[in-house]
Structure 1
C-alpha cells in the first residue's frame, strides 16, 4: 500500500526521478551542514565570551557578528527548502524555464557560500577573528563550497537531460501555434521570476529587519509601514493581473517595479557610504558582502520582472488564458473519468460549457 502511494507521488520517467532524488539528497546535506554551522557559531561565541576579550565594545561587536552569521545560515536553510519546492513543481508541471532558474538559484547560493568563507577566513572583521582558529569551521566552510560546486555541476547536467526529456511536452499541450508558444513562454517567465521575487525580496526584508534596523530609527518604521506592504501588494498584484490578464493592473505593477529601482540604488549607496565604512558602529560590518549580493539580485529581479511584465501585456488577449483554462479542465476531466490522453470523451463538451469555454478554445491545445 505504502509503495503504491509513494509510486504515485514520484514523477514518471528515469530522468525526473533522478533529478528529484539528487535535489533531495543535496538539500538534506546542505541543511545538515548549515545546522552544524549554527552549532559551531554558538560554540565559538561561548568560547569568545570566556576569553580575554572583555572589552564591552568588542563583546558587542562579537555578538552582532554572531547574529549576522546565524541569520545567514538560517536563510541558507530556507533556500534549500525553497529549492526543493521549485524542483518538485518544475518536474510536476514540466516547466523547463523553472528548471533553468533553479540552476541560477544554486549559483547565487554558491556565491553566498564563497562570500561567507572569505568574510570568515580571508578578510575577517575584528569580531569574525573568533573563527580563524576554529579548524572545524574552516573545514566545514571549505566542504560547503565544494559541495555547492559539485551540486551545481550535477544540477546542470540533470537539468539539461530533463529539458530534453520534457521539452516536447509544451508542443503536446499547445500544438503548433507559434504565437501561442511565445505568449506561453513569457507567461512562464513572469510566473517564475515572481517566485524568485518572493524568496529574494523576503530574504532582503529579513536581513533588514534582523540585522540593520533599530527601534529608534525612522527607517525602521518606514520599512514596516511602507516598504513591506508595498512589496506584498506589488507581488500579489502581479500574480493576480497575470492570471486574469488584467492589462491596467499589470501596467500599474510594472510602473511600481521600475520606480522601486531608485530605492535599491539608494540602498547600495547607503551600504557603501564612506562615512560608515569600516568605522566604529558600522551596522553593515559583517553583513555588507551578503547584503550587497541580496540588493543587487533583488534589483536585477525587479528590472527583469518589470520588463517581462511589459512583454506579457502584449500577449494579453491572444487566447493563452483560454488555452490554460482548457488545459486545466482537460487534466481534471482525465483524472475524474480516468481517461487516457488520446481518448476523447463526450463529457468534456459538458465540462467546457460549465466553464464558459467555447469549442474553438479546445483546438488551441489539441
Structure 2
C-alpha cells in the first residue's frame, strides 16, 4: 500500500490532473521514445550500407561522390526526425510546467508533418530510388523499419487526434472556470494560445530549414552562405523571441513590426521554391538538391504556411490587446500561487490525527448513556 501511495504521488507530481491529460502526455512520451530508438537504428543501418558501398565495387569517383552526398542527406534528415521527437518531449514538459495542457495538442500537427516526411522518405527509397537509395532496395531491415515508422505515425496520429479532442473539451472547461464567462476574453485567450503554438512550431521548422540549407546546400565560398549566417539566422531568432516578448507584454508596436516582417518573408520562401525547382539544375550531376528536393520542398511549404498562419494570428492578437486578458492571466497566476502557498498536501487521515484525539475504550464505557 505504501508503494502504491508513493507511485500515486509521483504520478500526480509528474502528470497533470485528469484521465485524458495523463493518457495524452504518457502516450506522447512513449511514442517519442519509440521513434527516437527507431530512427537511431535507421541511422545505424545507413552508416553500415555507406561503409559497405565504399568497400565494394562502387569505385567510380563520380558514383562515390553521389553516394556520399546522398548518404549525408539521409543522415541529416534522420537526425532531424530524432530532434523532432526531442522537441515534442520539450513541448510536453513545457506545457506541464505551465499547467497548460492545451499547448501539448500541437504534437498532433507535428506528427502529421512527420508522417508526410517519412512517407516521402519511403517513396525516395523504394518507389523512385536514386543511385544511393538502390543500396537499400534489398535491405529487409531498412524496409521493415521504414514501413513500421510510417504505420506507427499514422496510427499515432489517429489516436492522438481522438485524445486531443477529448482533451480540448476538458481544458476548455478549465479555462472557462479560470477566466469567467466573458466571451471576448475567451476569444482573446484562444488567439493568444494559437499564436504561442505557432511560434513554438516556427522554432523547430524554421530551424530545420536553416539546418538543411547549411548542411546540404550552401558552401563556404558562396555569398549566400554568409548572408544566411549574418542576416537570416539572427533575424529569425529576433522575430521568434520578439514575438513571445510582445505577446506576453502586449506591446502593440513590436507585434506590428513582427507581423510585417513575417508577411514580407513569404516572398523569400516563394523565391526559395523557384531556386529549388529551377529547370537549369534539374537532372544535372551538380544539382545541389538531388536527393534532398522532396524533403526540402516539404520544409519550405510547411515554413511558408506556418509563417502565414503566424502573421494572421499576430494580427488577431493585436486586435485583442488591451482587452483585459493580460490582467486576467496575471490575476489567475497570483491566485494559483496563493492557493499553492496555503494548500495542504496531507492525507485526510493524517489531518484527522492532529485534531482532538478520540476517547479510548475505557472513557467511552465510563461515559456511555446506555
- TM-score by length of structure 1 reads 0.89
Partner SS for 1:37 = helix
CA distance in 2, matches of 1:292, 1:235: 22
2:300 to 295, 298, 309: 295
Following TM superposition, by how much is the alpha carbon of 1:16 offset from its aligned partner in structure 2, in angstroms?
Answer: 1.6
Shifted more, 15-24 versus 248-257: the winner is 15-24
Tell me, yes or no, if the aligned pair for 2:125 and 2:134 is still in contact at 8 Å.
yes
Partner SS for 1:59 = helix
- 1:220-271 CA distance string (max 9 Å, x none): 0000001000101111111111111111111110110001111100000000
**1:213-362 superposed matches below 5 A:** 213-338=218-343
Structure 2 equivalent of residue 106 of structure 1? 111
CA distance in 1, matches of 2:251, 2:344: 34
Shifted more, 69-78 versus 120-129: the winner is 120-129
Tell me, yes or no, if the aligned pair for 2:16 and 2:99 is still in contact at 8 Å.
no
Following TM superposition, by how much is the alpha carbon of 1:339 offset from its aligned partner in structure 2, in angstroms?
Answer: 7.0
* Distance verdict in 2 for CA 1:167–1:91, change over 3 Å: farther
1:38 to 30, 34, 43: 43
Shifted more, 29-38 versus 120-129: the winner is 120-129
Tell me, yes or no, if the aligned pair for 1:114 and 1:145 is still in contact at 8 Å.
yes
Tell me, yes or no, if the aligned pair for 2:67 and 2:132 is still in contact at 8 Å.
yes
CA distance in 2, matches of 1:299, 1:176: 36
Structure 1 equivalent of residue 362 of structure 2? none
CA distance in 2, matches of 1:5, 1:91: 14
Tell me, yes or no, if the aligned pair for 1:16 and 1:91 is still in contact at 8 Å.
no
Tell me, yes or no, if the aligned pair for 2:15 and 2:96 is still in contact at 8 Å.
no
Following TM superposition, by how much is the alpha carbon of 1:100 offset from its aligned partner in structure 2, in angstroms?
Answer: 3.9
Tell me, yes or no, if the aligned pair for 2:218 and 2:225 is still in contact at 8 Å.
yes
* Distance verdict in 2 for CA 1:94–1:334, change over 3 Å: closer
CA distance in 1, matches of 2:239, 2:169: 35
Q: Does 1:205 align with 2:199?
A: no
Runs of 4+ in structure 1 over 6 Å off: none
Structure 1 equivalent of residue 361 of structure 2? none
Following TM superposition, by how much is the alpha carbon of 1:336 offset from its aligned partner in structure 2, in angstroms?
Answer: 1.7
Following TM superposition, by how much is the alpha carbon of 1:188 offset from its aligned partner in structure 2, in angstroms?
Answer: 0.7
Q: Does 1:150 align with 2:142?
A: no
Following TM superposition, by how much is the alpha carbon of 1:327 offset from its aligned partner in structure 2, in angstroms?
Answer: 1.1
How many matched pairs?
340
Following TM superposition, by how much is the alpha carbon of 1:86 offset from its aligned partner in structure 2, in angstroms?
Answer: 2.4
Shifted more, 110-119 versus 330-339: the winner is 330-339
1:22 to 21, 27, 37: 27
CA distance in 1, matches of 2:215, 2:297: 16
CA distance in 2, matches of 1:63, 1:193: 36
Following TM superposition, by how much is the alpha carbon of 1:85 offset from its aligned partner in structure 2, in angstroms?
Answer: 2.5
Larger radius of gyration: 2
CA distance in 2, matches of 1:133, 1:8: 48
Tell me, yes or no, if the aligned pair for 1:96 and 1:167 is still in contact at 8 Å.
no
CA distance in 2, matches of 1:157, 1:87: 17
Following TM superposition, by how much is the alpha carbon of 1:54 offset from its aligned partner in structure 2, in angstroms?
Answer: 0.6
Following TM superposition, by how much is the alpha carbon of 1:84 offset from its aligned partner in structure 2, in angstroms?
Answer: 2.0
**1:124-203 superposed matches below 5 A:** 124-203=129-208
Following TM superposition, by how much is the alpha carbon of 1:136 offset from its aligned partner in structure 2, in angstroms?
Answer: 1.1
CA distance in 1, matches of 2:35, 2:269: 30
* Distance verdict in 2 for CA 1:142–1:40, change over 3 Å: same
Tell me, yes or no, if the aligned pair for 1:261 and 1:299 is still in contact at 8 Å.
yes
Q: Does 1:122 align with 2:127?
A: yes
CA distance in 2, matches of 1:159, 1:92: 19
CA distance in 2, matches of 1:96, 1:21: 12
Following TM superposition, by how much is the alpha carbon of 1:81 offset from its aligned partner in structure 2, in angstroms?
Answer: 1.4
CA distance in 2, matches of 1:250, 1:24: 34
Following TM superposition, by how much is the alpha carbon of 1:335 offset from its aligned partner in structure 2, in angstroms?
Answer: 1.4
CA distance in 2, matches of 1:94, 1:181: 18
